[in-house]
């Protein structure tokens, strides 16, 4: 089978040139790239290898590896297989450029300082002795010694050294799986979803401003900061109620002919911090969309309504709205607008294996509705934008509705602070001050920008919809000091489980998330537990979690991706963290470590996921738990099913690990709670109508107002709350236009 025909080729979305200042010295680069090339090495047969630089295998093993690769995907030729084995991390300039950006722009100063200390040490005799046990600088070591040093770091007694191992292997995998010129060819992943028919997007017009020294001032009834799920719904409701609305967003609009973006650029163009935010202890990677449409442009279409036990918990906290008919109306209204339904779903193999495994074990499971406007949406690529426009994100649904009702939009606008006037000791919001950055002369965002201008937007009401990571920072920058701002951060922490199936899975194909197993959603009797779902399987997400044992093994494992299914055990977390501004540059920082309580639930979820995969016929199952070998099923699959003693023993190893945060990899695409809604001013940031306690005219409408974790994927809950809050604001504007 060859690659399917590719009628669609989305437009390029190139990245800006790398920063002019080199973030590292030549010696630091040498050491760093020597580490990367140990993780992703140039693999050669002994007859032509150089033992200093190459991963050397016998000629026989080399030809076995080539045969294996060719057997995995029929499109792989001998030449391609050789090229793949010979590719080292640093052999491609895209990899080096990506690391230049990473160390120059993305990594917080402190983390970079710590890393350069390590790199400098590895380049001296005394330092190398300390960290490697040898007097020779790391980069001067022959390949096999470098590899054994990495292995010793993986099992080091000192947690900081294990942390170093985890960070360096993750960063190398993360970058290589995005930029490798051969990886996708060897797996046989098509550039776009099969049979994708490009959609016609809404024709957005964005306000432009001339250059100028003094701030430009404009006026409106309502300004909404953030075009994501919360902001989009507010814009529609308020514009349709007859008010003048301006929506601003930091991010820029990409027309759908750019979607889905290539993995090498999609992360940079569409996500906050060009991929993820790392928690301070680096145990958690937090993913959020930062583009026109926010998280709605990159989310996976799972459209679940808030469950009864969560609604009752919130009502019991003094917020009876959540058990009212009004809330249900809001849920139904937003779902209707997006065409949320299960009627059109055709599951792909990954979701089918989850459903079938659950069925064979008698686990509670169901189909997850999608917001695809009454269409069958056969696409696993929406993580990098939806090219067909079938996914009804805010950019194709709520925001066009708002535009048709007269709303106007500003892209590239960074809101710096809310402006207040003071009335009898109360702060009354009167607008927002921000910086607008235009596009470049070619209409793109990589060249020199034509204009940077301060803009003041005066408004009768200000709605902050910047999302859970950014909304609290904006409130803090504006001088608000409520203790709860930025606290009560819930993340729905997840851990990943992978399964290899004998038949083709092609996990990138078909809708990403259409099934959920909820058997273990209430493990403490108070609504905390896990949901089991499929995970997006672009190579740069799915292969991050494949364990690294050595460079050859990792490359061969990656080439099995077409037989891989990937799942998450996702906790409704009881325990929280916080977001706060970096003291040096003001960027968002995250303090969050999955608690023992929540990790116990994630662990039980992993065990249940492993069972579903065993029951569904997986031949091999793996986790991200370090040093836990994959479970390989014996050929004579016994009739006792999951009671298989060998399997049970392996599950016990998962249970006894309990995922210590220093060694494990957790991720989150669901951020909630940092401006939580409360019945009294002492208990949260916004009142039951979404107005910030102690202010007038200032509202928050996004996932940050959740009183606690939603348990389900948060988009629909967020939209329903935003629907209610914005209807209240419209009513308030009629009753009291001027505060």
Ligand X SMILES: *[C@@H]1O[C@H](CO)[C@@H](O)[C@H](O)[C@H]1NC(C)=O
Ligand Y SMILES: Cc1cc2nc3c(=O)[nH]c(=O)nc-3n(C[C@H](O)[C@H](O)[C@H](O)COP(=O)(O)OP(=O)(O)OC[C@H]3O[C@@H](n4cnc5c(N)ncnc54)[C@H](O)[C@@H]3O)c2cc1C
Q: Which residues are catalytic?
A: 670
- Residue 697, φ and ψ in degrees, nearest 5: 80, 0
If one asks whether residue 296 binds ligand X (CB under 6 A), the answer comes out as yes
Site for ligand Y contains 411 (CB under 6 A):
no
DSSP 221: E
Tokens of 148: 């054994």
Query: Which contiguous run of DSSP H or E holds residue 733?
Result: helix 715-735
- Main-chain phi, psi angles of 578, to 5 degrees: -150, 160
Residue of this chain nearest to ligand X (CB atom): 296
Cβ neighbours for 16, distance < 8 A, ≥ 6 positions apart = 445, 446, 447
387 binds ligand X (CB under 6 A): no
Sole binder of ligand Y in the list 118, 235, 513, 692 (CB under 6 A): 513
How far is CA 515 from each of CA 90, 93, 284, 535, 620, rounded to the nearest angstrom? 39, 40, 25, 11, 22
Spatial neighbors of 664 by CB under 8 A, at least 6 apart, are 283, 495, 624, 625, 626
Structure token digits, residue 270: 């569409």
In the complex, least distance from residue 413 CB atom to ligand X, rounded to whole angstroms: 19
Strand pairing class (515-517; 530-534) = antiparallel
Q: Helices (H), strands (E): how many in the chain?
A: 22, 24
Least distance (Å) between residue 65 CB and ligand X: 25
Q: Which is nearer to ligand Y, 288 or 386 (CB)?
A: 288
3-state SS of the chain: helix, strand, coil percent to 5?
A: 40, 20, 45
37-74 core/surface letters (b: 16 or more CB in 10 A; e: else): bbbbbbbbbeeebeeebbbbbeeeebeebbeebbebbe
CB of 213 to ligand X, least distance (A): 32
Minimum distance of ligand Y from residue 671's CB (angstroms): 7
- The angle subtended at Cα 478 by Cα 473 and Cα 480, nearest 5°, is 85
- Site membership for ligand X, residue 177 (CB under 6 A): no
Residue nearer to ligand X on the CB measure, 368 or 733: 368
Q: Tell me if residue 107 falls in helix, strand or coil.
A: coil
User: Is 720 near ligand Y (CB under 6 A)?
Assistant: no
Torsion angles phi and psi, residue 148, rounded to 5: -70, -30
Query: Residues in contact with ligand Y, total (CB under 6 A)?
Result: 43
Distance separating alpha carbons of residues 392 and 236, to the nearest angstrom:
14
Q: Choose among ligand X, ligand Y, none what residue 163 binds, the Cβ cut-off being 5 to 8 Å by kind.
A: none
Q: List the structure tokens of 334.
A: 């937003």
- The residue among 188 and 296 lying less far from ligand Y, judged by its C-beta, is 296
If one asks whether residue 102 binds ligand X (CB under 6 A), the answer comes out as yes
Pick 266 or 293: Cβ nearer ligand X? 293
Q: Which is nearer to ligand Y, 127 or 467 (CB)?
A: 467
Instruction: Report if residue 300 touches ligand X, rule: CB under 6 A.
Output: yes
Residues 488-508 as b or e (16 or more Cβ within 10 Å = b) = bbbbbbbbbbbbbbeeebbbb
**Candidates 49-57, 135-143, 613-621, 714-722 — which segment interacts with ligand Y by CB under 6 A?**
714-722
For ligand Y, which residue of 10, 294, 707, 732 counts as binding (CB under 6 A)? 294
In whole angstroms, the minimum distance from the beta carbon of 211 to ligand X comes to: 31
Three-state DSSP at 129 gives helix
State yes or no: residue 466 binds ligand Y (CB under 6 A). yes
Position among 264, 348, 438, 674 found at the interface with ligand X (CB under 6 A) = 348
Q: Establish if 618 lies at the interface with ligand Y (CB under 6 A).
A: no
Contact string 391-410 vs ligand X (x = CB under 6 A): xxxx--x-------------
Contacting residue, 715, 720, 729, 730, with ligand X by CB under 6 A: 715
Question: Binding pattern to ligand Y, positions 653-672, x when CB under 6 A?
Answer: ----------------xx--
Stretch in the footprint of ligand Y (CB under 6 A) among 246-254, 314-322, 332-340, 341-349: 246-254
229 forms part of the interface with ligand Y (CB under 6 A): yes
**In the complex, minimum distance from the CB of residue 278 to ligand Y, in angstroms, rounded to a whole number:** 15
Please say whether the beta carbons of 38 and 150 come within 8 A: yes
The residues of the shown chain that bind ligand X, judged by CB under 6 A, are: 102, 106-108, 111, 228-229, 232, 273, 275-278, 293, 296, 299-303, 338, 346-349, 370-371, 391-394, 397, 504, 506, 509-510, 587, 715
The residues of the shown chain that bind ligand Y, judged by CB under 6 A, are: 225-231, 248-251, 287-290, 294-296, 298-302, 383, 413-415, 465-468, 470, 474, 513, 669-670, 702-703, 713-716, 718
């Amino acid at each position: 089978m060859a690659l399917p025909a590719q009628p669609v080729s989305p437009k390029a979305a190139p990245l800006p040139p790398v920063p002019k200042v080199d973030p590292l010295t030549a010696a630091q680069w040498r050491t760093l790239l020597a580490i990367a090339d140990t993780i992703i090495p140039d693999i050669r047969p002994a007859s032509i290898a150089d033992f200093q630089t190459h991963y050397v295998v016998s000629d026989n093993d080399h030809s076995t590896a080539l045969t294996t690769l060719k057997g995995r995907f029929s499109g792989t030729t001998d030449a391609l297989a050789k090229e793949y084995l010979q590719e080292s991390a640093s052999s491609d300039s895209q990899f080096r450029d990506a690391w230049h950006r990473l160390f120059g722009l993305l990594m917080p100063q402190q983390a970079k300082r710590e890393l350069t200390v390590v790199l400098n040490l590895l380049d001296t005799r005394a330092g190398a002795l300390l960290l490697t046990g040898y007097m020779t600088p790391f980069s001067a070591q022959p390949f096999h010694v470098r590899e054994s040093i990495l292995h010793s770091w993986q099992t080091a007694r000192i947690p900081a050294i294990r942390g170093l191992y985890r960070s360096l292997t993750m960063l190398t995998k993360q970058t290589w799986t995005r930029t490798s010129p051969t990886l996708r060819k060897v797996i046989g992943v098509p550039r776009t979803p099969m049979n994708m028919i490009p959609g016609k997007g809404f024709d957005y017009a964005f306000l432009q401003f001339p250059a100028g020294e003094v701030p430009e001032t404009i006026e409106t009834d309502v300004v909404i900061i953030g075009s994501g799920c919360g902001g989009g719904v507010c814009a529609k409701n308020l514009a349709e109620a007859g008010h003048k609305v301006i929506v601003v967003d930091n991010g820029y609009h990409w027309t759908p002919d750019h979607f889905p973006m290539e993995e090498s650029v999609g992360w940079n163009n569409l996500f906050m911090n060009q991929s993820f935010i790392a928690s301070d202890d680096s145990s958690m990677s937090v993913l959020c969309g930062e583009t026109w449409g926010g998280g709605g442009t990159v989310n996976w279409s799972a459209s679940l309504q808030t469950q009864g036990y969560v609604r009752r918990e919130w009502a019991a906290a003094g917020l009876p709205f959540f058990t009212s008919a009004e809330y249900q109306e809001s849920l139904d209204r937003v779902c209707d607008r997006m065409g949320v339904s299960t009627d059109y779903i055709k599951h792909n193999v990954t979701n089918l294996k989850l459903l079938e495994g659950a069925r064979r074990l008698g686990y509670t499971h169901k189909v997850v509705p999608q917001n695809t406007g009454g269409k069958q949406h056969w696409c696993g690529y929406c993580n990098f934008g939806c090219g067909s426009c079938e996914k009804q994100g805010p950019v194709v649904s709520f925001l066009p509705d708002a535009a048709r009702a007269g709303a106007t939009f500003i892209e590239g606008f960074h809101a710096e602070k809310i402006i207040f006037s003071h009335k009898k000791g109360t702060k009354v919001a009167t607008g927002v001050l921000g910086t607008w950055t235009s596009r470049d002369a070619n209409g793109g965002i990589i060249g020199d920008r034509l204009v940077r201008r301060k803009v003041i937007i005066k408004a009768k009401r200000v709605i902050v919809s910047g999302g859970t990571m950014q909304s609290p920072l904006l409130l803090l920058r504006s001088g608000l000091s409520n203790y709860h701002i930025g606290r009560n951060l819930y993340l729905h922490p997840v851990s990943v489980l992978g399964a290899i199936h004998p038949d083709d899975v092609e996990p990138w194909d078909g809708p990403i998330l259409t099934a959920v197993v909820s058997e273990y959603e209430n493990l403490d009797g108070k609504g905390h537990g896990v949901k089991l779902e499929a995970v997006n399987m672009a190579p740069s997400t799915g292969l991050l979690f494949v364990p690294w044992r050595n460079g050859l093994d990792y490359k061969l494992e990656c080439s099995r991706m077409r037989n891989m299914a990937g799942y998450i055990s996702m906790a409704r977390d009881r325990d929280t963290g916080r977001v706060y501004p970096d003291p040096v540059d003001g960027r968002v920082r995250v303090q969050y470590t999955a608690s023992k309580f929540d990790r116990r639930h994630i662990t039980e979820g992993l065990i249940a996921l492993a069972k579903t995969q065993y029951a569904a016929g997986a031949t091999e199952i793996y986790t991200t738990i370090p040093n836990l070998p994959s479970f390989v099923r014996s050929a004579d699959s016994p009739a006792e099913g999951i009671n298989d003693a060998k399997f049970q023993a392996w599950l016990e190893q998962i249970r006894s690990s309990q995922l210590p945060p220093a060694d494990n990899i957790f991720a989150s695409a669901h951020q909630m709670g940092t401006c939580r809604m409360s019945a009294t001013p002492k208990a949260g940031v916004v009142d039951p109508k979404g107005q910030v306690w102690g202010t007038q005219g200032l509202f928050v409408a996004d996932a940050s107002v959740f009183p606690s974790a939603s348990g389900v994927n948060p988009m629909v809950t967020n939209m329903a709350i935003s629907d209610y809050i914005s209807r209240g604001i419209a009513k308030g504007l009629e009753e009291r236009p001027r505060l």
